Each structure stands twice: as C-alpha cells, then as structure tokens.
C-alpha cells in the first residue's frame, strides 16, 4: 500500500508506482509463475498503528474501539484525535476531552471522511 504523509493518495500516485515497478518486475522476472501486481492506498478507514500515523492524523476524525468498555460503558468512541504518546491517546468528543490508555485500545481507525476530503483525494 502507498502512504503519503502530506496529502491523501490518489489514482495518479498508484499509476506512478505501478508502471515502473511492473516494468522492473518484468525485466528481472523474480516470480516464475503468473502474478498480478496491485498497488493501492491503505484506504479511507485505515487503521492507525505507528506513531507517524498518529502524528500525521492529529486533528482528524477517528473511531476508537476499546478492549473493555470505558467507565460509562462505551466501547466505540468517535472524535478528533488531539494527540498520542507512548502511553495515551487524547480524543476530543462531543462529551469532552478523553485521555485513553493505549493498552486499553483494540484499534484506532480514520473515521469516514467528509465528502470534500474524498473529492480532494480523488484529484
């Protein structure tokens, strides 16, 4: 998968990687049998894993799935990612700002992007 930290990945990015990579693979022929090369983005709702992912997505809408429910019984939280360090994730929700221990989080994914963000990514 392609990942671009300054902007969303678009179809042109995928084409710009696919063409030279496909040519190189055809020349080197490292795979003796038939294969299909697929190049794509990590997706609109990709999971954030590395610290660089969290840093790049600060200010973005995210969905957080907790391993166990929070004190108010919620396992699924939506909000704006404010920060993330080695121990905690800070999420701004409609109810206020939450500090969640990373050890208690099952996953963090980008939330559905706004329509204008999708259009911008397609450019």
Which residues lie below 8 Å from residue 74, measured CB to CB, with a gap of 6+? 66
CATH number of the domain at 51-121, please?
2.30.30.100
The Cα 33–Cα 53 span in angstroms is: 35
- What pLDDT does 4 receive? 62
Residue spans of the domains in the chain: they are 11-42, 51-121
**How far is it between the farthest Cα atoms of the chain?**
59
pLDDT tens track, the chain, 123 positions? 666 656 667 788 888 888 998 899 888 988 888 888 888 776 666 789 888 889 988 998 999 999 999 888 999 999 999 999 999 999 999 999 999 999 999 999 988 655 445 555 555
DSSP state for residue 102 in the 8-state scheme: G
Q: Look at residue 42 and give its three-state secondary structure.
A: coil
The Cα 46–Cα 111 span in angstroms is: 9
The Cα 105–Cα 67 span in angstroms is: 5
- What pLDDT does 63 receive? 94
């Amino acid at each position: 998968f392609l990942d671009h930290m300054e902007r969303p990945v678009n179809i042109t990015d995928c084409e710009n990687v696919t063409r030279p990579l496909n040519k190189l693979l055809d020349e080197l022929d490292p795979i003796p049998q038939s294969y299909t090369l697929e190049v794509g983005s990590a997706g609109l709702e990709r999971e954030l894993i590395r610290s660089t992912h969290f840093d790049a997505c600060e200010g973005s809408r995210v969905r957080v799935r907790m391993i166990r429910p929070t004190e108010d019984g919620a396992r699924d939280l939506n909000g704006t990612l404010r920060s993330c360090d080695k121990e905690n994730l800070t999420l701004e929700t409609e109810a206020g700002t939450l500090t969640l221990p990373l050890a208690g989080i099952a996953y963090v994914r980008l939330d559905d992007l706004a329509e204008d963000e999708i259009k911008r990514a397609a450019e």
